[in-house]
């Protein structure tokens, strides 16, 4: 006879279901009832685990961003050369899309809306932190000679941000191309270009 799920396990299951629904339908369009129905429980039972859907999305975003930025910090502090740091940061971004796709989609789709509430003010702080990380990596790349001196690093940062993270809209884990394959292609385009010679 299978063991009944523990409260902690059930809570994680509910959080996982909420993440999927927020990613697919949007945070505003997902109700507590939607989450409870998908989890096979009554809406009232959901409140044994979370006091609101805001608490759910808050936990999802804090977890994913804490993990992501801790790993970005490790790259910045590493002994890798500047080009290798940029490559590692791009690879980490695609790995995150692969492993934390729903959370990335929630951030991409709903951060602007959520940031209008005091509770989610940290999302703007994370945006600023992300910009600073990439500007540091790109500046180090230019200063070391790994990147061209004539680059507008603000523009390059925007290009990387807007082309990497939008991949969450089309990338599917377990599909024809792994996140490693996509990162390799992306880095080849970014660092080598798409023309011969």
Average pLDDT over residues 82-87: 97
Percentage of residues in the chain having pLDDT higher than 70: 95
Instruction: Return mean pLDDT, the chain.
Output: 93
Whether the pLDDT of residue 197 is over 70: the answer is no
Task: Summarize pLDDT for 102-135 with one digit per residue, the tens.
Answer: 999 999 999 999 999 999 999 999 999 999 999 9
Own/partner contacts of 148-152, CB < 8 Å, gap of 24 or more, are none
The beta-strand segments (E) located in the chain are: none
> 95 and 167 in contact (C-beta within 8 Å)?
no
Task: Summarize pLDDT for 28-73 with one digit per residue, the tens.
Answer: 999 999 999 999 988 888 888 899 999 999 999 999 999 999 999 9
Q: What angle do CA 102, 63, 180 make, to 5 degrees?
A: 55
Tell me the CATH number for domain 52-192: 1.10.357.10
Domain boundaries, the chain: 52-192
Q: Which residues contact 48 (CB under 8 A, 6 or more apart)?
A: none
Give the range among 2-6, 79-83, 149-153, 155-159 with minimum mean pLDDT: 2-6
Q: What angle do CA 88, 127, 76 make, to 5 degrees?
A: 30
Instruction: Record the pTM.
Output: 0.90
| Residue from 21, 3, 22 nearest 110 by CA | 22
Whether the pLDDT of residue 4 is over 80: the answer is no
| Residue from 117, 80, 107 nearest 169 by CA | 107
Whether the pLDDT of residue 98 is over 60: the answer is yes
């Amino acid at each position: 006879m299978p063991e009944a799920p523990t409260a902690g396990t059930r809570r994680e299951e509910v959080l996982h279901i909420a993440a999927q629904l927020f990613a697919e339908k949007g945070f505003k369009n997902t109700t507590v009832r939607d989450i409870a129905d998908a989890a096979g429980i009554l809406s009232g039972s959901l409140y044994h685990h979370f006091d609101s859907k805001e608490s759910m999305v808050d936990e999802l975003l804090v977890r994913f961003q804490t993990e992501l930025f801790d790993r970005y910090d490790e790259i910045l502090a590493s002994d890798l050369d500047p080009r290798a740091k940029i490559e590692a940061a791009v690879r980490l971004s695609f790995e995150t899309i692969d492993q934390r796709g729903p959370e990335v989609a929630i951030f991409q789709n709903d951060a602007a809306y959520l940031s209008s509430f005091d509770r989610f003010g940290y999302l703007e702080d994370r945006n600023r932190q992300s910009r600073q990380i990439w500007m540091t990596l790109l500046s180090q790349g230019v200063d070391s000679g790994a990147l061209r001196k004539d680059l507008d690093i603000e523009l390059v940062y925007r290009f990387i941000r807007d082309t990497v993270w939008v991949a969450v809209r089309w990338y599917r884990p377990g599909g024809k191309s792994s996140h490693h394959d996509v990162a390799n292609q992306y880095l080849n385009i970014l660092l080598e270009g798409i023309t011969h010679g």
